Structure 1
Amino acid sequence: MIRFSVLLPVRNGWPYVKECVESILTQTYPHFDLIVLDNQSNDNTVEWLKSLDDKRIQIFTSSSSLPIVESWARAKDVSKQEFMTLIGHDDRFDPDFLGRIKALIERHPRSALYQTGARLINSEGDKIRSCIAVPEVETAAEYLEARFTFNRDTFGTGFVMRSADYDRVGGIPGFEKLFFADDALWLSLIGASSKACDPGELFSVRVHPKSESASMPSVWTSIVTGLGQFSNFLTTFVQTNAAARKVYLVHGADFMLTYHRNACIFALVEASEAGRRIDSTTVERIEAALAQTAPSRAGQLFKSPRVAAVAALNASPLRFAVPMLWHLYTRRKTRS
């Protein structure tokens, strides 16, 4: 019999965590447990979970407030069922998620990673759009190509794997604020195997203004650091995977360039919010990181109409408009 552990790392997840947990406990497939990794929540999260008095729920609390990397790392150190999945506290399963995953495992027993189709939802739970369709079976090289060419929605929850495999690879890598850590984990798991997908839309990923990527331009420093860590991982990974190496050589540099440009825009927004021009040391840091991860794209940071336009506004008396445009963009991104 296939059994699952659903792991939920959370810190002050109220009220979204209520929807998340209810979507887990109402699964039509009954053979699972829910492991809550609470990180010093001081809202209603833990009190409400305890009030459920459900034997399927185990709650582990931290003795001190942990950074997100250390909080999620606890998933490796708890006892789990044969299969496991991680879920964000603001995401939710459809009722048949685990049942369809079970059937997917039975169809593709040699795969090392499993997922279903998904949708993006907003703060109110309304659908924004369906996620990009994923092939039924995918190798590491095929996943990497889709990721590098931005033909893939990315999120770190809703993927199912064998708990022994997760522990064997060391769990989710400790990249800065977990940026690109999910990519590295999936590749580590399927490097010598494959990923299988049920095309059914059985999982919701919430995008809302409080998420870091939507509301906190200051994460540019973590993005740059995470890119460096992901680049180091890839350099090692592709040495033993010839197909992935070909993909990396063709698309890797442009992927790194795009993300460094995004980080630069974040830094420009942050400076504009403070009412100042971006400082030269910030630009030099991002330029140096780009040169390190994609030497062939060095010097191309501002050779983008979008980056150049934001930089021009930031350098002008109209820099106050940059945060306004940013907030309009994030509202549009999270609107159904």
Structure 2
Amino acid sequence: MSRFEILLPYYGDVALMQNAVRSVLAQDGDDWRLTVVDDGREPGVPEWFESLADHRVRYFRNDRNLGVTGNFNRCVKLAEYDYLVLMGCDDIMHPNYLRVIRAAADREPAAAMIQPGVTVIGSDGRPYDTLADRTKRKLYAPKGPGQALYGGEALAASLLRGNWLYFPSICWRTEAVRRFGFRDDLGVIQDLALVIDLLVAGESLATTPEVCFSYRRHAESESSAKAFTGHRFEEAKRFFLDTADRLEAHGWPAAAKVSRWHLSSRLHAVSLLPGAIKHAGRPGAGAMLRHATRTR
């Protein structure tokens, strides 16, 4: 009986997507299926999937571009099995991924989310250790046992202080995700918003330390001023402040306070200030400074 729906919302580099697909096809067992939802128009992609002739693979191409959040939600609607993974189309599953996830799901069947061990790679596929990832490991991630179950206000506060999860590597209980879906008004921070929705609803997160997934982190584009306009920080501030009010009303004052301060997000803006000055001038620098210095 199939348990795992591996969903690949695709847009962008064809070769990286094909490597991601091959890494899924290397999984063992007969309890999974790969569903690819193509939100682009790259030539030859439908033909490549047809040539696979693999009954474990479904391929859909959207009639129109849905954008990141829209494609995430279409993927969730297509999921039919008990668990789903929303894998990045440039990430890599190690051959042991589903073995690790199966063991964790059997150990913690009530968990809505399973976070396995992850390694970070760069655009070239080599290990890539960034300040953000070192901060996740050393400052924000729990220091307790590798196999653990977390939930409630403590986990909400921890993730709002600094989101140490690797969203594309997480295995989710399908029913729990479908209950909320991804917010249409968010384009960058929608994964954290979903996690908070689940925690407020009483759901939990299981962690397991065995590394079984490579998350690809691309360097901030040096040629694109878009990265430094501050739009994503405007979205983040709105999310954190709205969430603070929501958690206060829910009776989680400690998590609400962390969300209201959203210190890690503000520090991230500070770290981008030199690039903003270089690529976006005064408007970009002003956007970074506003996010870094204001909590309202």
Residue 115 of structure 2 is aligned to residue 125 of structure 1 = no
Distance 1:184 1:123 in 2: 27
Select which of 247, 252, 259 maps to 2:255: 247
Alignment of 1:290-329 (within 5 A): 294-295=295-296
Question: Aligned partner of 1:224: which letter?
Answer: F
Give the match for residue 227 of structure 2: 219
Structure 2, unmatched stretches of 5+, are none
Give the match for residue 36 of structure 1: 36
Distance 1:140 1:3 in 2: 26
Question: Greater RCO between the two (CA within 8 Å, min separation 6)?
Answer: 2
Alignment of 1:1-336 (within 5 A): 3-129=3-129, 132=137, 136-150=148-162, 153-169=164-180, 171-176=181-186, 178-191=187-200, 192-209=202-219, 216-220=224-228, 221-239=230-248, 241-243=250-252, 245-250=253-258, 252-253=260-261, 254-262=263-271, 264-271=273-280, 278-279=281-282, 294-295=295-296
Q: Deviations over 1:128-179 (max 9, x none)?
A: 35873655222243334433444x544431111121211111x122344x32
Query: Given that residues 157 and 254 in structure 2 are in contact (C-alpha distance below 8 angstroms), is that contact kept between their aligned partners in structure 1?
Result: no
Deviation at 1:206, TM superposition (A): 0.9
Using the TM superposition, name which of 33-42 and 219-228 deviates more.
219-228
Distance 2:291 2:218 in 1: 29
Q: 1:122 to 1:215 in 2, by over 3 A?
A: farther
Distance 2:156 2:271 in 1: 19
Q: Deviations over 1:169-206 (max 9, x none)?
A: 1x122344x32211111121233121001110111101
Q: Deviations over 1:4-37 (max 9, x none)?
A: 1011011133111121111111112321111111
Question: Aligned partner of 2:28: which letter?
Answer: T
Deviation at 1:215, TM superposition (A): 6.3
Query: Given that residues 244 and 259 in structure 2 are in contact (C-alpha distance below 8 angstroms), is that contact kept between their aligned partners in structure 1?
Result: no
Percent identical: 21
Query: Given that residues 5 and 34 in structure 1 are in contact (C-alpha distance below 8 angstroms), is that contact kept between their aligned partners in structure 2?
Result: yes
Query: Given that residues 120 and 205 in structure 1 are in contact (C-alpha distance below 8 angstroms), is that contact kept between their aligned partners in structure 2?
Result: yes
Deviation at 1:57, TM superposition (A): 1.1
Distance 2:6 2:165 in 1: 19
Distance 1:287 1:86 in 2: 33
Q: Deviations over 1:239-277 (max 9, x none)?
A: 35434x303315641234324434644432323xxxxxx
Query: Given that residues 13 and 45 in structure 1 are in contact (C-alpha distance below 8 angstroms), is that contact kept between their aligned partners in structure 2?
Result: no
Give SS of 2:154's match.
helix
Give SS of 2:183's match.
coil
Larger Rg: 1
Q: 1:47 to 1:240 in 2, by over 3 A?
A: farther
Using the TM superposition, name which of 196-205 and 118-127 deviates more.
118-127
Distance 2:174 2:68 in 1: 21
Deviation at 1:233, TM superposition (A): 4.3
Distance 1:38 1:231 in 2: 31
* Number of aligned positions between the proteins: 281
Distance 1:20 1:82 in 2: 22
Please report the RMSD computed on the Cα atoms of aligned residues, expressed in angstroms: 2.8
Question: Aligned partner of 1:168: which letter?
Answer: R
Q: Deviations over 1:28-58 (max 9, x none)?
A: 2321111111012314433322210111111
Question: Aligned partner of 1:258: which letter?
Answer: L
Deviation at 1:69, TM superposition (A): 2.6
Deviation at 1:238, TM superposition (A): 0.9
User: TM-score with structure 1 length normalisation?
Assistant: 0.73
Query: Given that residues 39 and 65 in structure 1 are in contact (C-alpha distance below 8 angstroms), is that contact kept between their aligned partners in structure 2?
Result: yes
Deviation at 1:80, TM superposition (A): 2.2
User: TM-score with structure 2 length normalisation?
Assistant: 0.82
Deviation at 1:91, TM superposition (A): 0.4
Q: 1:39 to 1:255 in 2, by over 3 A?
A: same
Distance 1:256 1:51 in 2: 44
Distance 1:258 1:167 in 2: 33
Deviation at 1:291, TM superposition (A): 7.0
